[in-house]
């Protein structure tokens, strides 16, 4: 469709009326300012396209950081009911299955470690493999061992000495989806991912040292272990080449499946099959395995970071007190129970560039956060800041318990490169006391702060719409990128 009509529901909700092949209406959560970039590209059209999916319930949704993707918009959320022919679509998960991020809190005070910041960042850059085709963090895994990674996720990493069982307690789904089946992952996917466990990759993936700059909610911050002026480490990466290949394999499968089941779609990238079909179940098994790979990946990278900081500062673990606050995935499809029109229904919730944001009343939330709600991690750009929010009851009602996953891109990569040269960008970041090390200058400028929406504005809309409660703002002080 070429254009979409929008109706304003309230100050942060805009509705795309149901027309044509749309089975439900679309809803965009944004204020007037954030709506402008969403309407400038094709994100709103994509929200309408997603509404064609068979079995979709409620609304096809876009979060405040939404922008043009492929198939789903980035920042897109859609729930389908398998009981009513609801489908699962690899395009609603994306190539980087279980791309996500985690935040680690520490007992290091920024004021004390500031003089050693350069050494800390250089250590992370040395010890965490970054960049395109990066490998070598851990020895190459045998096929048997890689299949254990696919079935066991972060548990495998902990069993190999990368982290502790406490880390698993602070990871969404405890770092493993039970529906994973390594045998559903193709040999091509295994070939593409066999050397990449424990690597950051490139593009918008990063490891970042930050300082808690502001606390908005003292009670929740205390529960999360966030203290003003203390250092955090954030890791953003996913399932690397293995996940990309799983997506590619199943796009082919779902193109045929959509024909087989007579599913009409406005965009082939939305190809799909009923969740309860052989193709749907096969995809769930492979996607879950790739998600487990991603959790093992982030678990290992976190441990590499922890070891690196201990080594650089020559301190003991009890002095660092590195503790995983939480790990969230933001490219995933999950079976969850939600209330729709007064009835409790088991739904397949697609979150593509969207984070789960459950309140503490949900059984999926880890026990220690039941009183305050699930941590929602919203990384911003490398020069501005990131937010830790908490999940809410309102999110359950408005967005199937979903929130945004970042600031959201605003400039294309080409425009971002034109806007600033690498030297100027490095100078500006240095002036803000931010140490940056990157393999590629091109990636650095593509990921410059100007390329992204204002993270503070995005977090304000999250709070105003009620889909997340602001807990703390983290300012970056050191970044490594591929």
C-beta closer to other proteins: residue 5 or 252: 252
Candidates 79-87, 199-207, 313-321, 376-384 — which segment interacts with other proteins by CB under 8 A?
199-207
**Do residues 62 and 33 touch, judged by C-beta distance below 8 A?**
no
From 1, 6, 255, 335, residue interacting with other proteins (rule: CB under 8 A): 255
Candidates 23-31, 260-268, 377-385, 466-474 — which segment interacts with other proteins by CB under 8 A?
260-268
160 is a contact residue toward other proteins (CB under 8 A): no
Which among 293, 261, 296, 348 is positioned nearest to 79, based on CA atoms? Answer: 348
Looking only at residues 111 through 150 of this chain, which bind other proteins when binding is defined by CB under 8 A?
131-133
Helices (H), 195-239: 218-224
Least distance in Å: CB of 296 to other proteins?
Answer: 19
Report CA torsion sign: 166, 170, 171, 173: positive
Consecutive H or E run containing 209: strand 206-215
Least distance in Å: CB of 130 to other proteins?
Answer: 11
Residues 6+ apart with CB under 8 A from 364: 173, 336, 356, 358, 374
267 is a contact residue toward other proteins (CB under 8 A): yes
Which of 311, 330, 405, 427 is the catalytic position?
A: 405
C-beta closer to other proteins: residue 179 or 186: 186
256 is a contact residue toward other proteins (CB under 8 A): yes
User: What is the β-pairing status of strands 331-340 and 375-378?
Assistant: unpaired
Residue 405 a catalytic site member: yes
Residues 6+ apart with CB under 8 A from 368: 169, 170, 223
From 89, 130, 160, 269, residue interacting with other proteins (rule: CB under 8 A): 269
From 180, 220, 247, 429, residue interacting with other proteins (rule: CB under 8 A): 247
For residue 177, give the DSSP letter. Answer: -
**117 CB-side CA count, 13 A:** 25
259 is a contact residue toward other proteins (CB under 8 A): yes
237 is a contact residue toward other proteins (CB under 8 A): no
**Do residues 402 and 395 touch, judged by C-beta distance below 8 A?**
yes
**Do residues 16 and 42 touch, judged by C-beta distance below 8 A?**
no
368 is a contact residue toward other proteins (CB under 8 A): no
The Cα 384–Cα 382 span in angstroms is 6
414 is a contact residue toward other proteins (CB under 8 A): yes
Least distance in Å: CB of 279 to other proteins?
Answer: 9
The Cα 61–Cα 78 span in angstroms is 6
Looking only at residues 31 through 50 of this chain, which bind other proteins when binding is defined by CB under 8 A?
41, 43
186 is a contact residue toward other proteins (CB under 8 A): no
Least distance in Å: CB of 68 to other proteins?
Answer: 4
The Cα 127–Cα 314 span in angstroms is 15
Q: Give the pair of three-digit tokens for residue 200.
A: 């950051």
Contacts with other proteins by CB under 8 A lie at: 41, 43, 67-71, 74, 91, 94-96, 131-133, 188, 191-192, 201-203, 241, 244-245, 247-248, 251-252, 255-256, 259-260, 267-269, 271, 409-415, 440, 442-443, 482
What are the residue numbers of the active site? Answer: 405
């Amino acid at each position: 469709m070429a254009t979409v009509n929008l109706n304003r529901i309230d100050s942060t909700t805009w509705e795309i009326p149901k027309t044509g092949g749309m089975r439900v209406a679309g809803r965009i959560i944004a204020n007037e300012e954030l709506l402008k970039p969403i309407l400038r590209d094709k994100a709103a059209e994509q929200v309408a396209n997603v509404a064609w999916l068979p079995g979709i319930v409620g609304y096809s949704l876009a979060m405040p950081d939404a922008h043009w993707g492929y198939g789903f918009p980035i920042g897109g959320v859609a729930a389908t009911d398998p009981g009513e022919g609801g489908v699962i679509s690899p395009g609603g998960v994306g190539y980087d299955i279980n791309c996500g991020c985690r935040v680690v809190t520490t007992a290091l005070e920024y004021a004390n470690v500031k003089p050693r910041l350069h050494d800390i960042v250089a250590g992370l850059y040395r010890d965490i493999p970054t960049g395109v085709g990066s490998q070598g963090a851990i020895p190459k895994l045998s096929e048997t061992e890689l299949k254990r990674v696919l079935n066991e996720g972060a548990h495998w990493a902990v069993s190999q000495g990368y982290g502790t069982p406490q880390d698993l307690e602070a990871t969404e789904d405890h770092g493993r989806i039970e529906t994973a089946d390594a045998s559903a992952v193709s040999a091509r996917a295994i070939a593409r991912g066999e050397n990449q466990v424990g690597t950051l990759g490139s593009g918008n993936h990063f490891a970042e040292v930050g300082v808690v700059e502001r606390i908005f909610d003292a009670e929740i911050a205390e529960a999360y272990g966030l203290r003003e002026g203390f250092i955090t480490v954030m890791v953003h990466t996913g399932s690397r080449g293995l996940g990309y290949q799983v997506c590619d394999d199943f796009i082919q499968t779902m193109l045929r499946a959509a024909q087989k089941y007579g599913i009409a779609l406005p965009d082939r990238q939305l190809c799909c099959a009923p969740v309860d079909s052989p193709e749907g179940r096969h995809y769930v098994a492979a996607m879950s395995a790739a998600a487990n790979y991603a959790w093992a990946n982030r678990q290992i990278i976190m441990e590499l970071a922890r070891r690196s900081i201990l080594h650089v500062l020559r301190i003991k673990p009890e002095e660092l007190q590195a503790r995983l606050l939480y790990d969230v995935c933001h490219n995933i499809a999950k079976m969850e129970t939600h209330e729709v029109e007064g009835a409790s229904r088991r739904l397949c919730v697609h979150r593509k560039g969207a984070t789960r944001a459950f309140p503490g009343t949900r059984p999926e939330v880890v026990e220690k956060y039941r009183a305050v709600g699930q941590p929602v991690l919203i990384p911003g750009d490398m020069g501005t800041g990131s937010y830790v929010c908490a999940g809410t009851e309102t999110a359950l009602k408005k967005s199937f318990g979903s929130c945004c996953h970042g600031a959201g891109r605003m400039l294309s990569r080409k425009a971002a490169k034109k806007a600033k040269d690498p030297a100027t960008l490095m100078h500006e970041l240095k002036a803000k006391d931010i140490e940056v090390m990157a393999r590629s200058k091109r990636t650095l400028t593509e990921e410059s702060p100007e390329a992204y929406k204002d993270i503070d504005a995005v977090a304000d809309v999250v709070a105003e719409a009620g889909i997340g409660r602001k807990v703390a703002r983290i300012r970056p002080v050191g970044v490594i990128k591929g």
